[in-house]
């Protein structure tokens, strides 16, 4: 079965540079979530999109922005990178069902490991 695809898998940047992370959800999934996981920490929710509209926002810095495109893939744009941005960034996708928008289980991608030097 197709899974969530993230690219790149590894990324090394210098301080103050920019980075773009990409996420391709499972086919037919309409919702994408972004999480950040620091070393030895649990994943923290950043932002989510449903049908190309932002649906929720968590602890995402103002230096970061994201969007979901017409083909449902999503990109997380990170500017003015700081050392503390070094982390694993996960994308997850799910499918909302029915008029009550019951959210189905989230499936995670393999993550992008970002290292800021």
Partner 1 sequence: TQLLEQSPQFLSIQEGENLTVYCNSSSVFSSLQWYRQEPGEGPVLLVTVVTGGEVKKLKRLTFQFGDARKDSSLHITAAQPGDTGLYLCAGDGSSNTGKLIFGQGTTLQVKP
Q: Are 47 and 55 in contact (CB under 8 A)?
A: no
What is the Cα–Cα distance from 88 to 14, expressed in whole angstroms? Answer: 16
Copy the structure tokens of residue 41.
């920490």
The radius of gyration of the chain from alpha carbons, rounded to an integer in Å, stands at: 14
Task: Map residues 3-22 to x or -, x wherever contact with partner 1 holds by CB under 8 A.
Answer: -x-x----------------
Report the nearest approach of partner 1 to the CB of residue 94 (Å). Answer: 6
Q: Rank residues 50 and 79 by Cβ distance to partner 1 and give the closer one.
A: 50
Q: How far is CA 10 from the centre of its chain?
A: 14
In this complex, which beta carbon is closest to partner 1, that of residue 41 or of residue 80? 41
Give the footprint of partner 1 on residues 43-82 (CB under 8 A): 43-45, 48, 50, 55-56, 58
Strands 64-68 and 87-94 come out as unpaired
Binding site for partner 1 (CB under 8 A): 4, 6, 31, 33, 35, 41-45, 48, 50, 55-56, 58, 88, 90, 92, 94, 96, 101, 103, 105-111, 113
């Amino acid at each position: 079965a197709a899974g969530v695809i993230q690219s790149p898998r590894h990324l090394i940047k210098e301080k103050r540079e920019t980075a773009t992370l990409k996420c391709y959800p499972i086919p037919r999934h309409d919702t994408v979530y972004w999480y950040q996981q620091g070393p030895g920490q649990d994943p923290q929710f950043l932002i989510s999109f449903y049908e190309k509209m932002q649906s929720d926002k968590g602890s995402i810095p103002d230096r970061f922005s994201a969007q979901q495109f017409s083909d449902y893939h999503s990109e997380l744009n990170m500017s003015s990178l700081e050392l503390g941005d070094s982390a694993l960034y996960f994308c997850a996708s799910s499918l909302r069902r029915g008029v009550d928008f019951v959210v189905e289980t989230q499936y995670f991608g393999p993550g992008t490991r970002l290292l800021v030097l």
